[in-house]
Structure 1
Amino acid sequence: MDEVLLRSLTPSVLAVLVRRGADFAAAEDAVQDALVEAVRVWPADPPRDPKGWMVTVAWRKFLDATRADAARRRREDRVEEEPAPGPAPEADDTLRLYFLCAHPSLSPSSAVALTLRAVGGLTTRQIAQAYLVPEATMAQRISRAKRTVSGVRFDRPGDVATVLRVLYLVFNEGYSGDVDLAAEAIRLTRQLAASIDHPEVSGLLALMLLHHARRAARTAPDGSLVPLAEQDRGRWDIAAIAEGVAILQAALARDRLGEFQAQAAVAALHADAPTAEETDWVQIVEWYDELAALTANPVVRLNRAVAVGEADGPRAGLAELAALDASLPRYAAVAAYLHERDGDLETAARLYHEAARKALDLAERDHLTLQAARLNTLLRS
C-alpha cells in the first residue's frame, strides 16, 4: 500500500466533493471512509486510476451517509444523481482547501490541525502524537474546526497571508511523535507553490528550506541546543541551502518584497557565511530594517538589536534593546548575551537565570541555565 500516494490524493479528492456540493465535515468523513476502503481493496486489486477510484468511492460514501440522515433528506434531490468520476483542475481545488483551512473564524491551533488533516492527509492519531495530546482531544478539535467551516462559500479570493501564516505555524512545531511537522510543512508549501504564483509563497518555502538545512547541527548528541555561532557548518544541508537561495533570488527579482522573503534573506546571509565570524551583519541589519518596515512585530526589532550588537558592538545593541518592551519573549536572553559580550558578566549571569525561568521550551531552558552557571563559575574563580 502506497501511503504517500494516498496522502497526496486526499486534498484533491476532498476538494472535488466540496466543489460538488458536499459540506466540508461530511466530505472529509467520506474521504476518510474511502481511504479505509482503499487500504482494504488496493493491495489485491490496485486501480488503474487511483484518483478517479477515490473520487468515485468517496462520493458514493457521501451519498450513502446523506441518504441515511433523515435530517438531511431534503438535500437528496440535489445530490441524487451521481456525477461522472473525475476531478476538476487539481491546483484550483487544492488551493481552495488551503483557504478553507485557514478560515479567519478558526483559531491558529485549529487551522493548523485542519490543514494537516485535510491538505496533509495525516490521521487524527498522527496529528495528536505530533502535538503530544490525547487522540480524543485532537479529534474534538478537528471536529469543531470542520463544523466551523462547513457551508463556507468561496465567492472571493482567499487571504494568501493567512494561509502562509498557518503553514509557518506548522513548520515551527518541528518534530515530535512519528510525524516530522517541519518536513510536512515544507511538503505542503511546495504543493502550494505549485498551485499559486506568488512571491511570498516562494519566500516562505525558501525560509523553511534555509532553516531546515541547519537542523542536524542544532543539537548536540545529548540533545542540548547548539547556538548558531557554535554549530558545525559542515553538517548543514548544502543542497537545501542552494535550493532555498535560488528560490529566494527568483522571488526577490519580482520586486514585490514581503516579510517571508525578508526573513529568508536574513537566513540566506547566515547560510552564506563560511564561519560565524564572517557573517555579514551589516547586511543583516539592513534586511531587518526592511522587515521592520513591513511588519509591526516587535520580535523583529528584538532580533535587529542582536544584529546591531554584532555589527556595531554590544553597547549599540543594548541601546537598541533599551527602546523595547522588556516583557517580550527572549528579551532577557538577548540582554544577557549582549551584556556578556560587553564584559558585564554579573548582569549577564543574572539575566540568563531570569531568561531560563521564563523559557517555555525545555531545551532552551536548559541551555540558558547552563549559560548562567558558566558565568557564575567564572565570577567565582
Structure 2
Amino acid sequence: MTGEPDASLALLGSVVREEWGRLTSLLLARFRRLDLVEDALADAVEVAARRWPVDGVPDSPAAWLYTAAARRVLDRLRAEAMQHRRMPLLVTDIQRTAGSGGAMADPGGLVEDDLLRLVLMCTHPALAPEAASALALRLVVGVSTPDIARLFLVPEATMAARLTRDKKKVVAAGIPFAVPGAAELPGRLSTVAQTVYLAFTAGYAPGSGPDPVRAELAGEAVRLVRAVRALTPGDPTLTALLALVLLQHSRRDARTDDAGRLVLLADQDRSRWHRDEIAEAVALLESAPLRGGLPVQAAAYLLQARIAAEHALAPRPDDTRWDRIVAHYDLLVAVAPGPSVELARAVAVAQARGPGAGLAAIAAISGVGGVGASHRFDAVRAELLTRAGRVAAARTAYDAAISLCRNEAELSHLHDRRAALDQPPG
C-alpha cells in the first residue's frame, strides 16, 4: 500500500466515480439484494476514507472496495438468517452463488454482456420507464444522483427521493432481478435505449465533478448500444441511437486540450475526429431500418444523429449548414419537445440568423423552470448576449450560470468567459 492522506482521498474519489457502477453491478449479480448492495458499498467507501489515509492506498483499490462491501452484505445476510432461523439454507445458497463466479441466471443464453444483463434487469415493466432508467443509471452505470437529477431536469432532492422510493418499491414488491427471456425483450428495449442514451449524455455533459467529459462512460454506453442492437439488428430505435452516439463519440479526442480544458465544437481540431466512426454512422443513417415511418423515439434519435452528421461532415466550422440544422431542430421540437431541445435549437438559430434571433428563441422557451435546474440555460444566454454586445446583461447571465454550475471544468470555462468581459477590447 502507498500514498499520502490527501492523495489517497483524491484517488478514492476517482475510484468511486469510475468504478461505482461496475462494483454495484458485480455485487447485484452476486447477491441480488438491491436493499443491501448500495448501502454496503457506501459503507465500504466510508471505511476506505478513514483507513486509506492511515494505512495507504491498496494495490487494487476497486477490489478492496468490492471485498469490503461483499463482507458487509454477507454480515447482513447472516444476521437476517439468524433472525429467521434459516442460516444453513442461506449459507448454502451464498456459497453456490459465489462458486459460480456470481453469474446472473440467463437459462436461454440470450445476453452475454454482464453489464447489459443488469441494465435489462433494472428495466422491469413493473417500474415506470423513467424510474427504471434512473435506477439503472445509479445502480449499474454509476452516475451520481446530482447528475441524474440534471439529466431529468429536476432538483437533486427530488431525484434522491424518487430513487429511494423506487428502490423501496423494488424490494417491497419483490421485483426480480432476472434477465428477460426472448419474448420479454422487445418490451424493454425502449427503456434500455433511453437509459443508455442518458448514460452517454452523462459522459459528455457531466453535471458535477472535475472532468469536462467522461469519455470512458460514453464509450461504455456506445458498447452497450452495440450489444443490445446485436440482439435485434433491425430495430430502428437502436440503429438510430448507434448512429447518434458514434457521431458524438467520434469527437472525443478533440473535446479537451492538452491541459484538460474544455474545447468548444467550433475550436476543435477536426483532424482528431475518428473518421471511421463517422463513416459507420453515416452508413447507418442510410440503412434499411431507418427508412419509412419510425416510432417517436427512433425519429428523435435519428434527427439528433442528422444534426451531429451536419457537424461531422463539414470540413471547417464555416462550412456547417446551420440552416439545415435549424430545420432538423424544428422537426425535433415537434417530435420530442422539451426545454433542452429548445435551448439547443436556440443555439442553432443564433448561428444561422445572429445572436438577436437566438436570444428571441431562448425567450420563447417553454418550461424554463426545468432548464433552470441546469447552468446551461444561463451559460448559452450569456454567450449570445456577449455576441450581441450587451455586456452588462452578459455579466449577470454568467454570474447566474456560475452559481448553478457543479462541473469544475465547465465552471473554470465560465469564469474565463466572465473575466474576458472585463478585458479592454483588442
Q: What does residue 361 of structure 2 align with?
A: 320
Aligned mate of 1:340, from 382, 386, 404: 386
Answer yes or no: is 1:215 the counterpart of 2:252: yes
Answer yes or no: is 1:301 the counterpart of 2:327: no
Distance in 1 between residues matched to 2:113 and 2:262, nearest whole Å = 41
Q: What does residue 111 of structure 1 align with?
A: 136
Q: Aligned partner of 1:211: which letter?
A: Q
- How big is the shift at 1:96? 7.5
Distance in 2 between residues matched to 1:333 and 1:225, nearest whole Å = 14
Where do residues 83-122 of structure 1 align in structure 2 (5 Å cutoff)?
A: 87-88=107-108, 90=110, 98-103=119-124, 104=127, 106=131, 108-116=133-141
Distance in 1 between residues matched to 2:350 and 2:416, nearest whole Å = 22
Q: What does residue 263 of structure 2 align with?
A: 226
Shift in CA distance, 91/108, structure 1 to aligned 2, threshold 3 Å: closer
Answer yes or no: is 1:166 the counterpart of 2:195: yes
Distance in 1 between residues matched to 2:240 and 2:423, nearest whole Å = 44
Aligned mate of 1:187, from 216, 220, 223: 223
Contact 1:170/1:182, CA 8 A, preserved across alignment:
yes
- Size of the aligned set, in residue pairs, is 298
Where do residues 130-279 of structure 1 align in structure 2 (5 Å cutoff)?
A: 147=171, 149-150=175-176, 157-174=186-203, 180-196=216-232, 197-250=234-287, 251-256=289-294, 257-279=298-320
Answer yes or no: is 1:69 the counterpart of 2:89: yes
Shift in CA distance, 195/151, structure 1 to aligned 2, threshold 3 Å: closer
Ranked by relative contact order (alpha carbons within 8 Å, sequence separation 6 or more), the top structure is 2
**In angstroms, what is the RMSD of aligned CA positions?**
4.2
Contact 2:143/2:199, CA 8 A, preserved across alignment:
no
Distance in 2 between residues matched to 1:100 and 1:93, nearest whole Å = 12
Structure 2, unmatched stretches of 5+, are 1-21, 38-80, 94-104, 148-162, 205-210
1:134-158 deviation digits (Å, cap 9, x = unpaired): xxxxxx9999798463277878652
TM-score using structure 2 length:
0.59
1:87-115 deviation digits (Å, cap 9, x = unpaired): 52525999886543223264544212554
Q: What does residue 60 of structure 1 align with?
A: none
TM-score using structure 1 length:
0.66
- How big is the shift at 1:172? 2.8
Q: What does residue 363 of structure 1 align with?
A: 409
Shift in CA distance, 189/344, structure 1 to aligned 2, threshold 3 Å: same
What SS does the aligned partner of 1:377 have?
Answer: coil
1:213-244 deviation digits (Å, cap 9, x = unpaired): 11111111121111111111111111111112
Shift in CA distance, 161/323, structure 1 to aligned 2, threshold 3 Å: same
Contact 1:349/1:376, CA 8 A, preserved across alignment:
no
Deviates more, 1:203-212 or 1:345-354: 345-354
Identity %, equivalent residues: 36
Shift in CA distance, 151/317, structure 1 to aligned 2, threshold 3 Å: closer
What SS does the aligned partner of 1:169 have?
Answer: helix
Shift in CA distance, 170/277, structure 1 to aligned 2, threshold 3 Å: same
Shift in CA distance, 278/91, structure 1 to aligned 2, threshold 3 Å: same
1:284-342 deviation digits (Å, cap 9, x = unpaired): 11111111111132110111111111112221111111112554231111111222222
Distance in 1 between residues matched to 2:106 and 2:199, nearest whole Å = 31
Q: Aligned partner of 1:224: which letter?
A: R
Q: What does residue 421 of structure 2 align with?
A: 375
Shift in CA distance, 189/221, structure 1 to aligned 2, threshold 3 Å: same
Q: Aligned partner of 1:183: which letter?
A: G
1:51-81 deviation digits (Å, cap 9, x = unpaired): xxxxxxxxxxxxxx999427999xxxxxxxx
Shift in CA distance, 198/114, structure 1 to aligned 2, threshold 3 Å: farther
Q: Aligned partner of 1:372: which letter?
A: R
Distance in 2 between residues matched to 1:315 and 1:70, nearest whole Å = 67
Contact 2:133/2:192, CA 8 A, preserved across alignment:
no
- How big is the shift at 1:200? 1.1
